[in-house]
Amino acid sequence: MKLRSLCAVLLVLSSARADPDYYKLEDTQGRVVEARILQFDPKASIVKLKLHNNRVHSVPLSVFTESSQLCIQDWYQSEVVLSNKLIVSINKKSIRSDSYHGERNGWRSHYPGMDYEDFVYDIELYNKQSDPLTNVELEYCIYYEREIEETTCDMELVDNGYIGVNHKQLPRQHTSETITDKIIIPELPIRKRHIVTTNEARLYSGTESEEGLPSSKGHYRTVREKMIGVRIRITILLPSGNNAIKEVSYPTDLIEKTEWPN
């Protein structure tokens, strides 16, 4: 771009209303332009800007101050993360299922036992941009729900053992549970797939009784656990020291329905 046209781009804006899609960029001579960043070529160090009058100009990065250069570089890195240049795929897998017979957290399951199924999520990252991404932080949160129906009763001795009488249904309980973890990925190479497998989530269903109760009392509960989904948060460090964050979930509407745990 010729210097004459560059000077026309870098007009000082005094009273123009700030637009969230536009950035105020300052050149090394103190002149300010308010423009939308359309494109940045990090190899050629050329940034394409669109002004409020809809004119588009390609400008060398070097004409801007250091802080404005960082702003442009931050925009580029954020676009890499927040656009489709970093592809995130999620695959839910059932890895085993069986029945559990025995004591679990003070409760004992009886024949045929508590059914359970173990799940993991494979999180695949694919870097489509022309440079590697380094020091990528990946956090995930697996959400599942637990429903418990509890019953108490008196136990009466009969010829063949005990029988429950005077059954009382307790209020049904609903709780939300999470499994979280954080992984640091030193580098995501260009156009290569990187898979992160989450910790296992074991979901139970069945009936069990409380351990250690006197034989004159009975306390039973039916447990049903259901997988809700997984949220993923990907963070990279920007040139300015700020962070760029991308969030995805499976199913896709889980972000609107859940809170990220503190």
Residue 36: which CATH number? Answer: 2.30.30.140
The verdict on 91 and 57 lying in the same domain is no
The verdict on 246 and 200 lying in the same domain is yes
Mean pLDDT of the chain: 87
Model pTM?
A: 0.80
* Other beta carbons less than 10 A from residue 2's beta carbon: 7
pLDDT of amino acid 19: 62
The verdict on 236 and 106 lying in the same domain is yes
Domain extent for 17: 3-64
Look at the chain and report how many structural domains it folds into: 2
The verdict on 38 and 108 lying in the same domain is no
The verdict on 139 and 207 lying in the same domain is yes
The verdict on 51 and 180 lying in the same domain is no
Question: pLDDT per residue over 115-155, tens digit each?
Answer: 999 999 999 999 998 888 999 999 999 999 999 999 988 88
The verdict on 203 and 142 lying in the same domain is yes
Q: 125-161: b or e for each residue (b if 16 or more CB lie within 10 Å)? A: bebebeeebeebebbbbbbbeeeeebbbbebeeeeee
Asked whether residue 262 is domain-assigned, the answer is no
Which tokens hold the place of 22?
Answer: 């536009």
Asked whether residue 80 is domain-assigned, the answer is no
Please classify residue 45 by burial: count the beta carbons closer than 10 Å to its beta carbon, then call 0-12 exposed, 13-18 middle and 19+ buried. Answer: middle
The verdict on 48 and 167 lying in the same domain is no
The verdict on 198 and 233 lying in the same domain is yes
pLDDT of amino acid 20: 65
The verdict on 55 and 98 lying in the same domain is no
Dist. CA 24–CA 37, nearest whole Å? 10
Please classify residue 201 by burial: count the beta carbons closer than 10 Å to its beta carbon, then call 0-12 exposed, 13-18 middle and 19+ buried. Answer: buried
